[in-house]
Structure 1
Amino acid sequence: MEKEILTLEEAAELFNVSVKTFIKLLKEEKVPARKIGREWRFSRKALIDWLSTGESQYYSASEADTKEYYNKVAPKWEEIRQNYYDESIKDHLLKLGILEKDKTVMDLGAGNGYISIAVAKHVKKVIAVDISEEMIKELKKNAKANGIKNIYAIESDGIDIPVEDEKVNVVCANMYLHHKEEPTLAIKEMRRVLKPGGIVFLCDFYQHKDMELKEKLHDIWLGFDTEKIKKWFLDCGFTDVKITAIKQNEKEKSKAPKAKIFALTAVKNTDF
């Protein structure tokens, strides 16, 4: 007997399209759909009949709000972000020893270049990806001011990046994943663009209850439970997942972090 209630992946299979294509359909059309918690669920009959029991266009609303917010604050972002995280994330990344002169790095949620500019002189090429056109403008401005010419910017939501499979050695994702409606899809995209044995470096907030922080930064997730995020990476085809607490400089009270931060590294599992 065929299942009547379908997951996102099963709905995409029913339509005989990729999950990426189906997500585009959700954003662009009024597909019959409901959300249970953070998960999409679909009625097989409703999909086939194309009856409107829910508007999938709501899916893109939160990320659209995020894009609008970051377009607006882009010129002031360097000052704003110092209230939430300092230089310790970049310092931690550089000490890991995963950056080499012949490597290509992808920086997801690149913003104004916090990570991209820091790593550019240590690698061959940086592909900076951000959903905000204005942030990308700030990144290019900052790169020029620092005499950096090996950063290539792409405007994308990070779920369907216009980059071929297995093109980068390291994916950096700083304060990026908590903006994604479907984090596992973002993680799968990281795996897609990584070469065999490639590494993800991700920093984000530990799970917290600071609604003010969530609302100010237009976050979707209140940080992450580290055991859950570790399982996501393992389930999405990564191995050697390691999580470390990031110790920030809290001397200046005005710049004290609102939530604790962790760093995650994971290696693309070639046997997956």
Structure 2
Amino acid sequence: MGCLRACGETTRIRLLALLVLGELTVKDLTVILGQSQPRISRHLKLLCEAGVIKRYPEGAWVYYRLGEGGPAELARRIVAQSQQSDPVLAADHDRLVSLRRAKAEEAAAFFAARANNWDKERSLHVPEVAVEAAMRALVGAKSFDTLLDLGTGTGRLLELFSEQYERGIGIDTSQNMLSVARANLDRVGLQKAQVRQGDIYALPIAPDTADLTVVHQVLHYLEEPGRAILEAARTLRPGGRLLLVDFAPHELEFLREKHAHRRLGFSQEQVGNWLAEADLELVSTNDLTPGAGEKDKLTVTLWLAQDRRVVTDLPVADPTKELA
């Protein structure tokens, strides 16, 4: 009943019709609806209290998104009924499309300004398409519930694995990169994925959340990679998997000076020790080495580890009774 009361108001239906399509800030919603910020904020507060939507702080901004479970599903049905030939909702949708287009242009400009550095890094190892193919081969084709992408950057991995997961979450510290990721997710219409601002050492993710957590080309930027692996392991469900992708040891010092790398690659022993400290079992590794005559290029290594806890429907025997 509380959900119905929260949704049963014209402005709140307009808000829900927009939030069904993705996450938006208060500023976004005021622009689209043409209403004051206090008015929009009050309606959003009521929807949050009813459990229909969720709020995600990101620096000075707060993003709102449709929640999960019963109240949110009821809201989806209400919106679906309301959208039939409603000119107000249609106009809101057109303004949302225009707003997203403007944000995509801003994101593209930010990305283009940094493309030279990223292109330089990519030229130092095997093509990215080969890295992505190796990642998919290690993960396998089986479907799973939740993907967590740490250091999501452009959100590429949320797109890469989109056919396999039911829910995708990308985490990054940079608001600019999150803008790029949101624009990319909007471009491909990937509504089951979302991105959040967060610290890789203190993730805004509950324990036992992810079936697959990925850390792709992030560890070499960190002062404490082992600590980040411990935090990534905390996010895994019993039997969940952690995929690490980074460079093998190398001596390209200019990557420290010009590309902000803190670590010049990682050895098998080093990563193996960190995984053991996180109580994860190393399942498989794969080295993507440069071709003949490419001595100055880097080896990309993939490590796949698994949470040691066993998922079972069978009763677990009590060892104290066996000893009695």
Interval of TM-score (by shorter of Structure 1 and Structure 2): 0.5 to 0.7
Distance 1:192 1:257, change over 3 A: farther
Q: Deviations over 1:196-219 (max 9, x none)?
A: 111111110111111112223211
Query: How do 1:104-119 residues align onto structure 2 when only pairs under 5 Å count?
Result: 104-119=146-161
Cα drift, residue 75 of structure 1: 4.3
Partner SS state of residue 106, structure 1: strand
What's the offset of the Cα at 1:183? Answer: 1.4
Other-structure match for 2:88: none
Find out whether 1:206 has 2:248 as its counterpart: yes
TM superposition shift of 1:102: 3.7
Letter in 1 for 2:257: E
- The more displaced of 138-147 and 90-99 is 90-99
CA–CA distance in structure 2, aligned partners of residues 158 and 152 of structure 1: 16
- Alignment partner of 2:214 out of 172, 197, 209: 172
Contact 1:213 1:258 in 2 (8 A): no
Secondary structure, counterpart of 2:241 in structure 1: strand
Question: CA distance change for structure 1 residues 75 and 101 in 2, over 3 Å: closer, same or farther?
Answer: farther
- Report the counterpart of residue 300 of structure 2 in structure 1: 261
SS of the residue aligned with 2:208? coil
User: Counterpart of 2:223?
Assistant: 181
SS of residue in 2 equivalent to 1:96: helix
Between the two proteins, what is the percent identity of the paired residues? 22
Task: Write the mapping of 1:86-125 to structure 2, written as runs, cut at 5 A.
Answer: 86-98=128-140, 100-125=142-167
- My pick for the range that moved more, 181-190 or 167-176, is 181-190
Letter in 1 for 2:222: K
CA offset at residue 84 of structure 1? 2.7
Q: 1:210 to 1:132 in 2, by over 3 A?
A: same
In structure 2, what residue type is equivalent to 1:144? D
Equivalent position of 1:133 in the other structure:
175
Work out the CA distance in 2 between the residues paired with 1:170 and 1:91.
Answer: 16
Q: CA RMSD in A?
A: 2.6
Cα deviation code 1:204-263 (max 9, x no counterpart): 011111111222321111111221111111122111343210256899x9xx98422100
Change (3 A) 1:195 1:269: same
- Deviation string 1:54-94 (CA, Å, 9 cap, x unpaired) is xxxxxxxxxxxxxxxxxx96444566434333222211122
Distance 1:98 1:191 in 2: 20
SS of the residue corresponding to residue 124 of structure 1 reads: strand
Question: Tell me, what secondary structure is at the counterpart of 1:154?
Answer: strand
Evaluate the alpha carbon distance shift between residue 123 and residue 247 of structure 1 in structure 2; reply closer, same or farther with a 3 A threshold: farther
| Unmatched tracts of structure 1, length 5 or more | 1-71
Aligned mate of 1:81, from 112, 118, 129: 118
In structure 2, the partner of 1:243 is 285
Structure with bigger gyration radius: 2
The residue that corresponds to 1:228 in the other structure is 270
Distance 1:246 1:114, change over 3 A: farther
- Once the 2 structures are TM-superposed, how far is the Cα of residue 163 of structure 1 from its aligned partner? 1.0
Give the number of the structure with larger relative contact order, counting CA–CA contacts within 8 Å between residues 6 or more apart. 1
Does the 8 A contact of 1:179 with 1:221 survive in 2? yes
Using structure 1 for the length normalisation, give the TM-score. 0.65
What does residue 147 of structure 1 align with? 189
Paired residues for 1:21-36 under 5 Å: none
Quote the Cα distance in structure 2 between the aligned partners of 1:223 and 1:96.
20
Residue 56 of structure 1: aligned partner: none
CA contact (8 A) 2:272 2:282 kept: no
2 CA distance for matches of 1:248 and 1:127? 32
- Once residues 158 and 145 of structure 2 are traced to their aligned partners in structure 1, the CA distance between those partners, rounded to angstroms, is 13
**Partner SS for 1:120:** coil
Give, in angstroms, the shift of residue 100 of structure 1.
4.0
The answer as to whether partners of 1:75 and 1:138 remain within 8 angstroms in 2 is no
Cα offset, 1:182, TM superposition:
1.3
* Structure 1 or 2: more helix by fraction: 2
The alignment partner of 1:103 has SS state of: strand
Mapped to 2, the partners of 1:157 and 1:74 lie a distance apart of 21
Match for 2:308: what amino acid? N
